[in-house]
Structure 1
Amino acid sequence: MDKGKIVALEDRIPKLKEQRRRKANRRLIFLLFLFFTMIAVVAYVQSPLSHVKKVTVNGNELLSTNEVIKTSTISTKTNIWSVRKNIAAKNLEKMNVIKKAEVKIKWPNTVMIEIEERNKIAYIKSDKSYYPVLENGKVLKDREVAEIPVNAPILFKFKEGTVLKEMVSALEELPDEVRNAISEVHHTPKKADEFHISLFMNDGFEVSATLRSFSEKMIHYPSIISQLDPNIKGIIDLEVGSFFKAYELEAEETKIENDKGEG
Protein backbone atom coordinates (compact mmCIF):
# COMPACT_ATOMS: atom_id res chain seq x y z
CA MET A 1 0.00 0.00 0.00
CA ASP A 2 1.06 3.56 -0.66
CA LYS A 3 1.98 4.93 2.74
CA GLY A 4 1.42 8.52 1.45
CA LYS A 5 -2.37 7.92 1.20
CA ILE A 6 -2.80 6.59 4.68
CA VAL A 7 -4.52 9.09 7.08
CA ALA A 8 -3.96 8.58 10.71
CA LEU A 9 -7.07 8.08 12.85
CA GLU A 10 -6.02 10.85 15.21
CA ASP A 11 -6.02 13.22 12.17
CA ARG A 12 -9.56 12.24 11.05
CA ILE A 13 -11.24 12.63 14.45
CA PRO A 14 -11.15 16.47 14.53
CA LYS A 15 -12.71 16.64 11.03
CA LEU A 16 -15.50 14.26 11.99
CA LYS A 17 -16.20 16.27 15.11
CA GLU A 18 -16.35 19.48 13.06
CA GLN A 19 -18.81 17.93 10.57
CA ARG A 20 -21.04 16.66 13.37
CA ARG A 21 -20.94 20.07 15.07
CA ARG A 22 -21.97 21.85 11.86
CA LYS A 23 -24.78 19.38 11.26
CA ALA A 24 -25.99 19.81 14.86
CA ASN A 25 -25.87 23.60 14.49
CA ARG A 26 -27.91 23.51 11.28
CA ARG A 27 -30.50 21.27 12.96
CA LEU A 28 -30.63 23.60 15.96
CA ILE A 29 -31.07 26.67 13.76
CA PHE A 30 -33.92 24.97 11.85
CA LEU A 31 -35.66 23.94 15.07
CA LEU A 32 -35.28 27.43 16.54
CA PHE A 33 -36.67 28.95 13.31
CA LEU A 34 -39.62 26.55 13.38
CA PHE A 35 -40.22 27.27 17.06
CA PHE A 36 -40.20 31.06 16.69
CA THR A 37 -42.34 30.85 13.53
CA MET A 38 -44.98 28.88 15.44
CA ILE A 39 -44.85 31.43 18.26
CA ALA A 40 -45.28 34.26 15.74
CA VAL A 41 -48.25 32.52 14.09
CA VAL A 42 -49.94 31.85 17.43
CA ALA A 43 -49.31 35.44 18.53
CA TYR A 44 -50.74 36.74 15.23
CA VAL A 45 -53.85 34.57 15.42
CA GLN A 46 -54.51 35.63 19.01
CA SER A 47 -53.84 39.32 18.41
CA PRO A 48 -56.12 41.99 16.90
CA LEU A 49 -53.91 41.95 13.81
CA SER A 50 -55.72 38.82 12.57
CA HIS A 51 -59.20 40.30 13.08
CA VAL A 52 -61.39 41.48 10.22
CA LYS A 53 -60.55 45.13 9.62
CA LYS A 54 -63.17 45.93 6.98
CA VAL A 55 -66.45 44.46 5.68
CA THR A 56 -67.77 45.74 2.34
CA VAL A 57 -71.29 45.15 0.97
CA ASN A 58 -72.35 45.44 -2.68
CA GLY A 59 -75.74 44.98 -4.36
CA ASN A 60 -77.96 46.18 -1.51
CA GLU A 61 -80.75 48.68 -2.14
CA LEU A 62 -83.63 47.71 0.13
CA LEU A 63 -81.33 46.54 2.91
CA SER A 64 -78.88 48.79 4.71
CA THR A 65 -75.19 47.86 4.86
CA ASN A 66 -75.40 47.45 8.63
CA GLU A 67 -78.31 45.00 8.31
CA VAL A 68 -76.39 42.85 5.87
CA ILE A 69 -73.24 42.80 8.00
CA LYS A 70 -75.21 42.02 11.17
CA THR A 71 -77.04 39.13 9.51
CA SER A 72 -73.79 37.68 8.17
CA THR A 73 -72.52 37.54 11.81
CA ILE A 74 -69.15 38.88 10.63
CA SER A 75 -67.70 41.86 12.50
CA THR A 76 -64.38 43.51 13.29
CA LYS A 77 -64.17 41.18 16.29
CA THR A 78 -64.20 38.14 14.00
CA ASN A 79 -60.89 36.40 13.38
CA ILE A 80 -60.21 36.37 9.64
CA TRP A 81 -59.22 32.69 9.91
CA SER A 82 -62.55 31.76 11.48
CA VAL A 83 -64.76 33.31 8.78
CA ARG A 84 -67.06 30.61 7.38
CA LYS A 85 -68.02 31.98 3.98
CA ASN A 86 -70.72 29.39 3.17
CA ILE A 87 -72.41 29.73 6.56
CA ALA A 88 -72.44 33.53 6.29
CA ALA A 89 -73.96 33.33 2.79
CA LYS A 90 -76.68 30.90 3.95
CA ASN A 91 -77.56 33.21 6.84
CA LEU A 92 -78.04 36.04 4.37
CA GLU A 93 -80.12 33.97 1.93
CA LYS A 94 -82.61 33.21 4.71
CA MET A 95 -83.77 36.82 4.43
CA ASN A 96 -86.80 37.34 2.14
CA VAL A 97 -85.11 40.27 0.45
CA ILE A 98 -81.99 38.36 -0.64
CA LYS A 99 -82.10 35.99 -3.58
CA LYS A 100 -78.39 35.14 -3.61
CA ALA A 101 -75.37 35.97 -1.45
CA GLU A 102 -71.63 35.36 -1.82
CA VAL A 103 -68.91 36.03 0.75
CA LYS A 104 -65.27 36.45 -0.23
CA ILE A 105 -62.09 37.11 1.72
CA LYS A 106 -59.58 39.64 0.47
CA TRP A 107 -56.35 39.14 2.34
CA PRO A 108 -55.01 40.18 4.68
CA ASN A 109 -58.16 41.24 6.58
CA THR A 110 -61.08 42.38 4.37
CA VAL A 111 -64.39 40.52 3.88
CA MET A 112 -66.48 41.31 0.79
CA ILE A 113 -70.20 40.49 0.71
CA GLU A 114 -71.98 40.43 -2.66
CA ILE A 115 -75.79 40.14 -2.57
CA GLU A 116 -78.56 40.01 -5.15
CA GLU A 117 -81.86 41.33 -3.83
CA ARG A 118 -85.23 40.16 -5.07
CA ASN A 119 -86.89 42.59 -7.45
CA LYS A 120 -89.27 45.10 -5.96
CA ILE A 121 -92.37 44.86 -8.18
CA ALA A 122 -94.87 47.15 -6.43
CA TYR A 123 -95.97 48.75 -3.17
CA ILE A 124 -99.02 47.74 -1.16
CA LYS A 125 -101.13 50.34 0.64
CA SER A 126 -102.01 49.60 4.25
CA ASP A 127 -103.61 52.29 6.42
CA LYS A 128 -101.44 55.35 5.78
CA SER A 129 -98.28 53.50 4.87
CA TYR A 130 -96.82 51.75 1.84
CA TYR A 131 -94.82 48.54 1.91
CA PRO A 132 -92.61 47.05 -0.85
CA VAL A 133 -93.84 43.86 -2.54
CA LEU A 134 -91.15 41.51 -3.86
CA GLU A 135 -91.17 39.28 -6.91
CA ASN A 136 -92.02 36.26 -4.73
CA GLY A 137 -95.17 37.96 -3.44
CA LYS A 138 -93.75 38.70 0.01
CA VAL A 139 -94.64 42.04 1.59
CA LEU A 140 -91.80 43.72 3.47
CA LYS A 141 -93.76 44.91 6.48
CA ASP A 142 -90.60 46.21 8.15
CA ARG A 143 -89.85 48.55 5.21
CA GLU A 144 -92.56 51.11 5.73
CA VAL A 145 -92.59 54.08 3.35
CA ALA A 146 -94.51 57.11 4.56
CA GLU A 147 -94.52 59.07 1.29
CA ILE A 148 -96.38 57.96 -1.84
CA PRO A 149 -93.94 55.88 -3.94
CA VAL A 150 -93.48 56.97 -7.54
CA ASN A 151 -91.14 54.26 -8.82
CA ALA A 152 -93.59 51.32 -8.85
CA PRO A 153 -97.35 50.63 -9.02
CA ILE A 154 -99.32 50.91 -5.75
CA LEU A 155 -101.62 48.01 -4.86
CA PHE A 156 -104.87 48.57 -2.94
CA LYS A 157 -107.03 46.04 -1.08
CA PHE A 158 -104.65 43.14 -1.69
CA LYS A 159 -103.66 40.62 0.98
CA GLU A 160 -100.77 38.18 1.01
CA GLY A 161 -101.87 35.01 -0.72
CA THR A 162 -102.82 33.61 -4.12
CA VAL A 163 -104.29 36.79 -5.62
CA LEU A 164 -101.29 38.91 -4.64
CA LYS A 165 -98.86 36.34 -6.05
CA GLU A 166 -100.84 36.28 -9.30
CA MET A 167 -100.76 40.07 -9.42
CA VAL A 168 -97.00 40.27 -8.82
CA SER A 169 -96.32 37.54 -11.36
CA ALA A 170 -98.44 39.34 -13.97
CA LEU A 171 -96.69 42.67 -13.34
CA GLU A 172 -93.31 41.02 -13.64
CA GLU A 173 -94.20 39.69 -17.09
CA LEU A 174 -94.98 43.17 -18.40
CA PRO A 175 -92.38 45.27 -20.24
CA ASP A 176 -90.94 48.11 -18.15
CA GLU A 177 -92.67 50.61 -20.42
CA VAL A 178 -96.10 49.23 -19.54
CA ARG A 179 -95.44 48.55 -15.85
CA ASN A 180 -94.10 52.07 -15.35
CA ALA A 181 -97.29 53.47 -16.90
CA ILE A 182 -99.40 51.98 -14.09
CA SER A 183 -100.13 54.26 -11.13
CA GLU A 184 -102.55 52.17 -9.03
CA VAL A 185 -104.01 48.66 -9.06
CA HIS A 186 -107.15 47.94 -7.02
CA HIS A 187 -108.36 44.44 -6.22
CA THR A 188 -112.05 44.64 -7.14
CA PRO A 189 -113.33 41.04 -7.04
CA LYS A 190 -116.67 40.11 -8.54
CA LYS A 191 -118.96 37.20 -7.65
CA ALA A 192 -117.90 35.37 -10.79
CA ASP A 193 -114.28 36.51 -10.76
CA GLU A 194 -112.14 36.68 -7.63
CA PHE A 195 -109.23 37.92 -9.76
CA HIS A 196 -110.84 41.07 -11.13
CA ILE A 197 -108.72 44.22 -10.91
CA SER A 198 -109.06 47.90 -11.79
CA LEU A 199 -106.02 49.92 -12.86
CA PHE A 200 -105.49 53.66 -12.96
CA MET A 201 -102.83 54.70 -15.43
CA ASN A 202 -100.46 57.65 -15.31
CA ASP A 203 -101.94 58.94 -18.58
CA GLY A 204 -105.44 59.23 -17.06
CA PHE A 205 -107.06 56.09 -18.47
CA GLU A 206 -108.65 53.35 -16.36
CA VAL A 207 -108.33 49.64 -17.15
CA SER A 208 -110.74 46.89 -16.13
CA ALA A 209 -109.26 43.38 -16.34
CA THR A 210 -108.97 39.94 -14.85
CA LEU A 211 -105.66 38.51 -13.70
CA ARG A 212 -106.34 35.34 -15.66
CA SER A 213 -105.57 37.16 -18.92
CA PHE A 214 -104.13 40.45 -17.67
CA SER A 215 -100.47 40.15 -18.71
CA GLU A 216 -101.16 38.81 -22.22
CA LYS A 217 -103.65 41.63 -22.93
CA MET A 218 -101.98 44.47 -21.03
CA ILE A 219 -98.79 43.98 -23.01
CA HIS A 220 -100.64 45.63 -25.92
CA TYR A 221 -101.47 48.77 -23.92
CA PRO A 222 -99.26 51.12 -26.01
CA SER A 223 -101.01 49.91 -29.17
CA ILE A 224 -104.43 50.29 -27.54
CA ILE A 225 -104.02 53.90 -26.44
CA SER A 226 -102.53 54.84 -29.81
CA GLN A 227 -106.03 54.20 -31.24
CA LEU A 228 -107.75 56.46 -28.68
CA ASP A 229 -108.16 60.21 -28.41
CA PRO A 230 -105.84 61.24 -25.52
CA ASN A 231 -108.27 64.05 -24.62
CA ILE A 232 -111.19 61.67 -24.03
CA LYS A 233 -110.60 59.62 -20.90
CA GLY A 234 -112.50 56.51 -19.90
CA ILE A 235 -112.32 52.81 -19.10
CA ILE A 236 -110.45 50.30 -21.25
CA ASP A 237 -112.19 46.96 -20.69
CA LEU A 238 -109.84 43.99 -21.20
CA GLU A 239 -111.99 41.30 -19.57
CA VAL A 240 -113.54 39.93 -22.74
CA GLY A 241 -112.06 41.34 -25.88
CA SER A 242 -110.97 44.99 -25.75
CA PHE A 243 -113.48 47.83 -25.47
CA PHE A 244 -113.27 51.50 -24.55
CA LYS A 245 -115.97 53.34 -22.60
CA ALA A 246 -115.63 57.10 -22.33
CA TYR A 247 -116.50 58.50 -18.91
CA GLU A 248 -118.84 61.02 -20.48
CA LEU A 249 -120.47 58.52 -22.80
CA GLU A 250 -120.30 55.23 -20.92
CA ALA A 251 -123.27 53.93 -22.89
CA GLU A 252 -121.22 54.02 -26.06
CA GLU A 253 -118.53 51.43 -26.59
CA THR A 254 -115.62 51.47 -28.98
CA LYS A 255 -114.06 48.18 -29.93
CA ILE A 256 -110.27 48.24 -29.89
CA GLU A 257 -108.26 46.12 -32.28
CA ASN A 258 -105.22 44.55 -30.64
CA ASP A 259 -102.04 44.58 -32.67
CA LYS A 260 -100.83 41.01 -32.11
CA GLY A 261 -97.49 41.85 -33.61
CA GLU A 262 -96.57 44.26 -30.81
CA GLY A 263 -95.53 43.56 -27.24
Structure 2
Amino acid sequence: MKMAKGKIVSIEDRIPKLKQQRKKRANRRFVFYITFFFVLIAIILYFQSPLSKVSSIEVSGNRFISTEQIISLSGLSTSDNFWKVEKGKVSTLIENHDEVKKAIVDKQFINSVKILIEEYQRTAYLLHEGQFHPILETGEVLAPLEDAYIPSGAPILMNWEPSEALQEMAAELRKVPPSIQNHISEIHHTPTESDPLHVTLYMNDGREVSVTIRDFAEKMTAYPAIASRLKPEQQGVIHLEVGAYFKSYQIEQDIEGETSDEDER
Protein backbone atom coordinates (compact mmCIF):
# COMPACT_ATOMS: atom_id res chain seq x y z
CA MET A 1 0.00 0.00 0.00
CA LYS A 2 1.47 3.30 -1.13
CA MET A 3 1.25 6.47 0.95
CA ALA A 4 0.06 9.73 -0.70
CA LYS A 5 2.80 12.10 -1.26
CA GLY A 6 2.30 15.53 0.39
CA LYS A 7 4.35 18.64 0.60
CA ILE A 8 5.89 19.11 4.00
CA VAL A 9 6.37 22.77 5.09
CA SER A 10 8.93 23.34 7.74
CA ILE A 11 8.31 25.67 10.69
CA GLU A 12 11.06 27.91 9.42
CA ASP A 13 9.11 28.51 6.20
CA ARG A 14 5.84 29.25 8.05
CA ILE A 15 7.23 31.84 10.50
CA PRO A 16 7.66 34.67 7.90
CA LYS A 17 4.10 34.18 6.67
CA LEU A 18 2.72 34.28 10.21
CA LYS A 19 4.68 37.41 10.94
CA GLN A 20 3.34 39.00 7.73
CA GLN A 21 -0.27 38.12 8.65
CA ARG A 22 0.17 39.54 12.14
CA LYS A 23 1.66 42.71 10.71
CA LYS A 24 -1.32 43.14 8.34
CA ARG A 25 -3.77 42.68 11.19
CA ALA A 26 -1.86 45.18 13.31
CA ASN A 27 -1.85 47.67 10.44
CA ARG A 28 -5.60 47.26 9.95
CA ARG A 29 -6.21 47.89 13.66
CA PHE A 30 -3.95 50.92 13.55
CA VAL A 31 -5.79 52.36 10.52
CA PHE A 32 -9.17 51.69 12.22
CA TYR A 33 -8.16 53.43 15.46
CA ILE A 34 -6.62 56.37 13.60
CA THR A 35 -9.73 56.73 11.45
CA PHE A 36 -12.03 56.46 14.49
CA PHE A 37 -9.92 59.06 16.31
CA PHE A 38 -10.08 61.57 13.46
CA VAL A 39 -13.83 60.97 12.96
CA LEU A 40 -14.35 61.59 16.67
CA ILE A 41 -12.29 64.77 16.49
CA ALA A 42 -14.26 65.90 13.40
CA ILE A 43 -17.57 65.31 15.19
CA ILE A 44 -16.41 67.27 18.23
CA LEU A 45 -15.17 70.11 16.05
CA TYR A 46 -18.44 70.07 14.07
CA PHE A 47 -20.60 70.41 17.16
CA GLN A 48 -18.37 73.21 18.39
CA SER A 49 -18.51 75.06 15.07
CA PRO A 50 -21.26 77.29 13.58
CA LEU A 51 -22.04 74.50 11.10
CA SER A 52 -24.01 72.65 13.80
CA LYS A 53 -26.17 75.72 14.50
CA VAL A 54 -29.37 76.67 12.71
CA SER A 55 -28.16 78.87 9.86
CA SER A 56 -31.54 80.19 8.70
CA ILE A 57 -35.27 80.00 9.47
CA GLU A 58 -37.57 80.37 6.46
CA VAL A 59 -41.32 80.91 6.84
CA SER A 60 -43.84 80.58 4.00
CA GLY A 61 -47.61 80.37 3.59
CA ASN A 62 -48.33 83.07 6.16
CA ARG A 63 -50.52 85.97 5.05
CA PHE A 64 -51.84 87.68 8.14
CA ILE A 65 -49.29 86.62 10.76
CA SER A 66 -45.88 88.18 10.29
CA THR A 67 -42.79 86.06 9.71
CA GLU A 68 -41.20 87.59 12.81
CA GLN A 69 -44.18 86.52 14.90
CA ILE A 70 -44.04 82.95 13.54
CA ILE A 71 -40.33 82.68 14.39
CA SER A 72 -41.02 84.07 17.86
CA LEU A 73 -43.79 81.49 18.39
CA SER A 74 -41.49 78.68 17.24
CA GLY A 75 -38.93 79.46 19.91
CA LEU A 76 -36.15 78.92 17.36
CA SER A 77 -33.06 81.05 16.86
CA THR A 78 -29.82 80.81 14.90
CA SER A 79 -27.99 79.98 18.11
CA ASP A 80 -29.88 76.68 18.48
CA ASN A 81 -28.24 73.35 17.75
CA PHE A 82 -29.67 72.11 14.45
CA TRP A 83 -29.83 68.47 15.60
CA LYS A 84 -31.72 69.34 18.77
CA VAL A 85 -34.60 70.99 16.91
CA GLU A 86 -37.73 68.90 17.59
CA LYS A 87 -40.06 69.35 14.63
CA GLY A 88 -43.18 68.16 16.43
CA LYS A 89 -42.58 70.42 19.42
CA VAL A 90 -41.99 73.46 17.20
CA SER A 91 -45.17 72.74 15.22
CA THR A 92 -47.21 72.52 18.42
CA LEU A 93 -45.86 75.84 19.70
CA ILE A 94 -46.82 77.61 16.48
CA GLU A 95 -50.24 75.96 16.24
CA ASN A 96 -51.13 77.36 19.68
CA HIS A 97 -51.74 80.67 17.90
CA ASP A 98 -55.44 81.30 17.24
CA GLU A 99 -54.93 81.99 13.53
CA VAL A 100 -52.66 79.03 12.73
CA LYS A 101 -54.46 75.97 11.40
CA LYS A 102 -51.34 73.90 10.72
CA ALA A 103 -47.57 74.32 10.87
CA ILE A 104 -45.19 71.95 9.07
CA VAL A 105 -41.56 72.12 10.18
CA ASP A 106 -38.84 70.68 7.94
CA LYS A 107 -35.09 70.46 8.61
CA GLN A 108 -33.14 71.05 5.41
CA PHE A 109 -29.55 70.02 4.59
CA ILE A 110 -27.17 71.37 5.78
CA ASN A 111 -28.62 73.29 8.71
CA SER A 112 -31.63 75.39 7.72
CA VAL A 113 -35.20 75.11 9.04
CA LYS A 114 -38.27 75.73 6.89
CA ILE A 115 -41.73 76.37 8.34
CA LEU A 116 -44.86 76.09 6.17
CA ILE A 117 -47.91 77.82 7.65
CA GLU A 118 -51.60 77.21 6.93
CA GLU A 119 -53.79 79.91 8.46
CA TYR A 120 -57.47 79.73 9.31
CA GLN A 121 -59.53 81.53 6.70
CA ARG A 122 -60.95 84.92 7.62
CA THR A 123 -64.60 84.58 6.64
CA ALA A 124 -65.63 88.14 7.57
CA TYR A 125 -64.69 91.33 9.39
CA LEU A 126 -66.92 92.67 12.18
CA LEU A 127 -67.14 96.47 12.32
CA HIS A 128 -67.67 97.22 16.00
CA GLU A 129 -67.18 100.62 17.65
CA GLY A 130 -65.26 101.87 14.61
CA GLN A 131 -62.78 98.96 14.56
CA PHE A 132 -62.54 95.90 12.33
CA HIS A 133 -62.43 92.51 14.09
CA PRO A 134 -61.47 89.50 11.92
CA ILE A 135 -63.78 86.49 12.20
CA LEU A 136 -62.09 83.15 11.55
CA GLU A 137 -63.63 80.08 9.94
CA THR A 138 -63.69 78.64 13.46
CA GLY A 139 -66.17 81.38 14.42
CA GLU A 140 -63.67 83.07 16.74
CA VAL A 141 -63.71 86.88 16.75
CA LEU A 142 -60.18 88.29 17.01
CA ALA A 143 -58.87 91.50 18.48
CA PRO A 144 -59.35 94.62 16.32
CA LEU A 145 -56.95 95.39 13.50
CA GLU A 146 -54.65 98.36 13.45
CA ASP A 147 -56.42 101.56 12.45
CA ALA A 148 -54.44 101.89 9.22
CA TYR A 149 -55.43 98.44 7.97
CA ILE A 150 -58.32 98.30 5.50
CA PRO A 151 -59.79 94.77 5.39
CA SER A 152 -60.31 93.08 2.03
CA GLY A 153 -61.08 89.63 0.68
CA ALA A 154 -64.02 88.98 3.02
CA PRO A 155 -67.43 90.57 3.76
CA ILE A 156 -67.79 93.28 6.42
CA LEU A 157 -70.47 92.70 9.06
CA MET A 158 -72.32 95.93 9.87
CA ASN A 159 -74.75 96.73 12.73
CA TRP A 160 -73.95 93.55 14.65
CA GLU A 161 -73.57 93.00 18.37
CA PRO A 162 -71.85 89.99 19.92
CA SER A 163 -74.67 87.46 20.09
CA GLU A 164 -75.81 84.01 19.03
CA ALA A 165 -76.97 85.55 15.73
CA LEU A 166 -73.39 86.67 15.03
CA GLN A 167 -72.03 83.20 15.81
CA GLU A 168 -74.66 81.61 13.57
CA MET A 169 -73.83 84.05 10.77
CA ALA A 170 -70.13 83.22 11.07
CA ALA A 171 -70.94 79.50 10.98
CA GLU A 172 -73.00 79.92 7.80
CA LEU A 173 -70.28 81.99 6.11
CA ARG A 174 -67.84 79.10 6.60
CA LYS A 175 -70.04 77.02 4.31
CA VAL A 176 -70.35 79.63 1.54
CA PRO A 177 -68.06 78.87 -1.45
CA PRO A 178 -65.35 81.51 -2.06
CA SER A 179 -66.78 82.12 -5.56
CA ILE A 180 -69.96 83.46 -3.93
CA GLN A 181 -68.39 84.95 -0.82
CA ASN A 182 -66.13 87.14 -2.95
CA HIS A 183 -69.22 88.86 -4.37
CA ILE A 184 -70.37 90.03 -0.92
CA SER A 185 -69.23 93.49 0.20
CA GLU A 186 -71.26 94.09 3.38
CA ILE A 187 -73.70 92.14 5.54
CA HIS A 188 -76.10 94.22 7.64
CA HIS A 189 -78.14 92.75 10.46
CA THR A 190 -81.68 93.99 9.69
CA PRO A 191 -84.02 92.06 11.96
CA THR A 192 -87.78 92.29 11.50
CA GLU A 193 -90.71 91.36 13.73
CA SER A 194 -91.26 88.17 11.76
CA ASP A 195 -87.57 87.33 11.34
CA PRO A 196 -85.04 88.44 13.98
CA LEU A 197 -82.32 86.76 11.89
CA HIS A 198 -82.97 88.76 8.72
CA VAL A 199 -79.91 90.22 6.98
CA THR A 200 -79.34 92.51 4.02
CA LEU A 201 -76.31 91.96 1.79
CA TYR A 202 -74.70 94.64 -0.35
CA MET A 203 -72.98 92.98 -3.27
CA ASN A 204 -69.95 94.15 -5.24
CA ASP A 205 -72.13 94.38 -8.37
CA GLY A 206 -74.27 97.09 -6.73
CA ARG A 207 -77.29 94.89 -5.97
CA GLU A 208 -78.80 93.88 -2.62
CA VAL A 209 -79.75 90.48 -1.32
CA SER A 210 -82.53 90.03 1.23
CA VAL A 211 -82.13 86.75 3.10
CA THR A 212 -82.18 85.15 6.54
CA ILE A 213 -79.37 83.56 8.50
CA ARG A 214 -81.19 80.25 8.64
CA ASP A 215 -79.77 78.07 5.87
CA PHE A 216 -77.93 81.16 4.60
CA ALA A 217 -75.23 79.17 2.77
CA GLU A 218 -77.77 76.98 1.00
CA LYS A 219 -79.97 79.92 -0.01
CA MET A 220 -76.98 81.87 -1.40
CA THR A 221 -76.25 79.12 -3.94
CA ALA A 222 -79.12 80.56 -6.01
CA TYR A 223 -77.46 83.98 -6.26
CA PRO A 224 -75.04 83.33 -9.19
CA ALA A 225 -77.80 81.93 -11.44
CA ILE A 226 -80.10 84.89 -10.76
CA ALA A 227 -77.35 87.49 -11.15
CA SER A 228 -76.18 85.96 -14.45
CA ARG A 229 -79.63 86.50 -15.98
CA LEU A 230 -79.66 90.21 -15.07
CA LYS A 231 -78.13 92.97 -17.16
CA PRO A 232 -75.57 95.27 -15.46
CA GLU A 233 -78.03 98.18 -15.54
CA GLN A 234 -80.71 96.12 -13.78
CA GLN A 235 -80.21 97.09 -10.19
CA GLY A 236 -82.43 96.02 -7.32
CA VAL A 237 -82.97 93.46 -4.57
CA ILE A 238 -82.66 89.70 -4.94
CA HIS A 239 -84.99 88.09 -2.43
CA LEU A 240 -83.94 84.69 -1.14
CA GLU A 241 -86.08 84.36 1.99
CA VAL A 242 -88.76 82.07 0.56
CA GLY A 243 -88.11 81.06 -3.02
CA ALA A 244 -85.96 83.38 -5.13
CA TYR A 245 -86.97 86.45 -7.13
CA PHE A 246 -85.62 89.83 -8.20
CA LYS A 247 -87.27 93.19 -7.51
CA SER A 248 -85.92 96.15 -9.46
CA TYR A 249 -85.24 99.56 -7.89
CA GLN A 250 -86.85 101.08 -10.99
CA ILE A 251 -90.26 99.60 -10.13
CA GLU A 252 -90.11 101.10 -6.66
CA GLN A 253 -89.10 104.48 -8.09
CA ASP A 254 -92.00 104.34 -10.56
CA ILE A 255 -94.45 103.52 -7.78
CA GLU A 256 -93.14 106.36 -5.62
CA GLY A 257 -93.39 108.74 -8.59
CA GLU A 258 -96.98 107.78 -9.25
CA THR A 259 -97.84 108.24 -5.58
CA SER A 260 -96.28 111.70 -5.62
CA ASP A 261 -98.25 112.69 -8.72
CA GLU A 262 -101.51 111.54 -7.10
CA ASP A 263 -100.70 113.52 -3.96
CA GLU A 264 -100.14 116.66 -6.04
CA ARG A 265 -103.49 116.19 -7.67
TM-score > 0.5 by shorter chain: yes
Task: Answer whether contact 2:211 2:240 (CA < 8 A) is retained.
Answer: yes
Post-superposition, which runs of at least 4 consecutive aligned residues in structure 1 deviate over 6 A?
Answer: none
- Of residues 70, 79, 82, the one that matches 2:72 is 70
How is 1:168-187 mapped onto 2 (pairs within 5 angstroms)? 168-187=170-189
AA matched with 1:75 = S
For residues 50 and 60 of structure 1, what CA distance do their matches in structure 2 show? 28
Q: Which is further off, 194-203 or 52-61?
A: 194-203
- Asked whether the 8 Å contact 1:129–1:146 carries over to 2, the reply is no
What amino acid does structure 2 have at the position aligned with 1:212? R
Deviates more, 1:185-194 or 1:208-217: 185-194
- 2:10 maps to 1:7: yes
Mapped pair 1:52 → 2:54: yes
C-alpha distance after superposition, 1:200-222 (max 9, x if no partner): 22233332221103222222223
In the alignment, the residues of structure 1 paired with residue 223 and residue 16 of structure 2 have an alpha-carbon distance, to the nearest angstrom, of: 103
Q: Deviations over 1:144-181 (max 9, x none)?
A: 36344343211123355643343233334334443222
Structure 1's 142 and 47: CA in aligned 2 closer, same or farther, altered over 3 A? farther
- Cα distance in structure 2, aligned partners of 1:163 and 1:146: 29
Cα RMSD after superposing both structures: 3.2
Deviation at 1:232, TM superposition (A): 6.3
TM-score, L = length of structure 1? 0.78
C-alpha separation in 2, matches of 1:82 and 1:147: 39
Q: What amino acid is aligned across from residue 146 of structure 1 in structure 2?
A: A
**2:214 matched residue in structure 1:** 212
1:43 is aligned with what amino acid? Answer: L
- Residue number in structure 2 paired with 1:255: none
Amino acid at match of 2:104: E
Distance in 2 of aligned mates of 1:48 and 1:142:
42
Pairing partner for 1:131 from 127, 130, 133: 133
Matches of 1:15 and 1:165, distance apart in 2 = 91
SS at match of 2:113: strand
> Secondary structure of 2:134's partner?
strand
How many residues in Structure 1 have an aligned counterpart in Structure 2? 249
CA shift, 1:62, in A, is 1.2
State percent identity of aligned pairs.
44
1:155 alignment partner in structure 2: 157
Superposition deviation, residue 41 in structure 1: 0.8
Give the Cα–Cα distance (whole angstroms) in 1 for the partners of residues 10 and 233 of structure 2.
122
Summarize the alignment of residues 10-89 of structure 1 with structure 2, pairs less than 5 Å apart.
16-89=18-91
The 1:228–1:36 alpha-carbon spacing in structure 2 relative to 1, beyond 3 Å, is closer
TM-score (norm 2): 0.78
1:100 pairs with 92, 102, 105, which one?
102
Contact kept? 1:99, 1:118, Cα under 8 Å = yes
C-alpha spacing 1:220/1:6, structure 2 compared with 1 (3 Å): closer
Which 10-residue stretch deviates more, 227-236 or 166-175?
Answer: 227-236
Which has the larger helix fraction? 2
Q: Are the structure 2 counterparts of residues 177 and 36 from structure 1 closer, same or farther at C-alpha, using a change threshold of 3 Å?
A: closer
Q: Which runs of 5+ in 2 are unaligned?
A: 259-265
Distance 1:14 1:142 in 2: 90
CA distance in 2, matches of 1:159, 1:39: 67
Equivalent position of 2:190 in the other structure? 188
Q: Is the 8 A contact 1:131 1:145 kept in 2?
A: no
Amino acid at match of 2:128: S
